[in-house]
């Protein structure tokens, strides 16, 4: 059975992965390999369909393939010209604030906000929903990832 602590650990690994991709990019290291490893180890593409709707994707807003996910994280793919590389934007930290969980045996859903910290220590707030399944090794894998910039109101 999945526990809340398992979800929080998976979220921590996801956030550390984004920071690691950014750091590799900034230091001239192989950030594309780091992003590929991030996707391979944390997403369920190898074992399940993945429903991925990234924050800034508008033209090709759904990414059901590893190629589409990689393009979103690092950019530079002619098949996804809008992608500028979300994970290479100089993020120095990612933190999660979970609003609610739904856990059922070997699947889980969680939603809330995550905050991406810039080098100036400003935070960018993004809303998220993540779905997880348990792989054959007992690790959580993302099979649903939807995120969006909070709506602006005029009031």
Model pLDDT, residue 151: 84
Q: Are strands 140-148 and 123-134 parallel, antiparallel or unpaired?
A: antiparallel
Distance CA 139, CA 146 (A): 20
Percent of the chain with pLDDT over 70: 99
Model pLDDT, residue 152: 81
Distance CA 76, CA 70 (A): 10
Domains and CATH numbers, the chain: 4-148 (3.10.450.50)
* 6-44 per-position pLDDT tens digit: 999 999 999 999 999 999 999 999 999 999 999 999 999
Distance CA 11, CA 141 (A): 10
User: Going edge to edge, which strands form the sheet with 93-104?
Assistant: 51-53, 140-148, 123-134, 107-117, 93-104
Model pLDDT, residue 150: 86
* 36-81 per-position pLDDT tens digit: 999 999 999 999 999 999 988 899 999 999 999 999 999 999 999 9
Q: 10 Å Cβ neighbour count for 138?
A: 9
The three-state secondary structure class of 2 is: coil
């Amino acid at each position: 059975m999945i526990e809340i602590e398992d979800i929080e650990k998976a979220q921590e690994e996801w956030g550390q992965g984004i920071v690691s991709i950014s750091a590799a990019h900034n230091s001239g290291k192989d950030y594309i390999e780091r992003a590929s490893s991030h996707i391979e180890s944390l997403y369920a593409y190898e074992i399940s369909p993945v429903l991925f709707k990234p924050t800034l994707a508008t033209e090709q807003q759904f990414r059901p393939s590893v190629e589409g996910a990689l393009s979103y994280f690092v950019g530079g793919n002619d098949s996804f010209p809008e992608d500028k590389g979300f994970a290479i934007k100089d993020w120095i930290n990612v933190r999660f604030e979970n609003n609610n969980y739904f856990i059922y045996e070997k699947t889980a859903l969680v939603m809330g906000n995550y905050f991406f910290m810039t080098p100036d220590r400003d935070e960018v707030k993004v809303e998220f929903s993540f779905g997880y399944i348990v792989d054959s090794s007992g690790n959580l894998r993302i099979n649903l990832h939807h995120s969006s910039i909070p709506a602006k109101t005029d009031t």
